[in-house]
Amino acid sequence: MASLYHLANEYLAAFAEDENGELPGDLCERLDAIEADITVKAGNVVRFIQQCKGDAEMYSAEGKRLAALAAAKANQADRLKDYLMENLERAGMTKLSTDIATLSICKNSMPSVTVLEGMDPRTLPAEYQRIKVEVDAKRIGDDFKAGKPLPEGVSAAIGKHLRVR
């Protein structure tokens, strides 16, 4: 069977007029046959789309599972590091060499900052606040749909998509 691309071209070519400017007499039969082939081919493509989506969901779930395992291992490593530091400090050791690593307890270069949970950051003085500016894509889209001019450097377009039910 021909590709969907070739079937679409064949469908369009079926409307081509002959040298007398007339449509072929068997046009309906040819169109029905091509449409049947397109229907079969499109159905196969939809099956493959569904398979790809299923694979993507499976890979996403596996990714989440692996991410959870990675986080658990990272937490375990952090807890072991804390355990090691706590016991070295308790023993009064600030430096220790092993066969695979040299351990040393050092002061952090930056202080640990804690803000009370639930505290509104806007209540802090301005020098302790950071302002984050983001693009409001929804507003731009609404203005575009309303026919309003968009600022320089901003563009919007309404695209198309295929809905598979």
Distance, in Å, from the CA atom of 78 to the CA atom of 141, rounded to the nearest integer, reads 45
Using CA of residue 91, residue 92, residue 94, residue 97, what is the dihedral sign?
negative
| Residue 115: C-alpha distances to residues 50, 112, 128 (Å) | 48, 10, 11
Q: Which pair of structure tokens corresponds to residue 159?
A: 């695209």
Residue 164 has pLDDT above 90, yes or no: no
pLDDT category, 14, cuts 50, 70, 90? confident
Residue entry with tokens 């596996």: 62
Mean pLDDT of 31-59: 94
pLDDT digits (tens, 9 = 90+) for 111-162: 999 999 999 988 999 999 998 999 999 999 999 999 999 999 999 999 988 7
Residue 108 has pLDDT above 70, yes or no: yes
Distance, in Å, from the CA atom of 103 to the CA atom of 70, rounded to the nearest integer, reads 24
pLDDT category, 17, cuts 50, 70, 90? low
Distance, in Å, from the CA atom of 157 to the CA atom of 121, rounded to the nearest integer, reads 38
Mean pLDDT of 31-54: 94
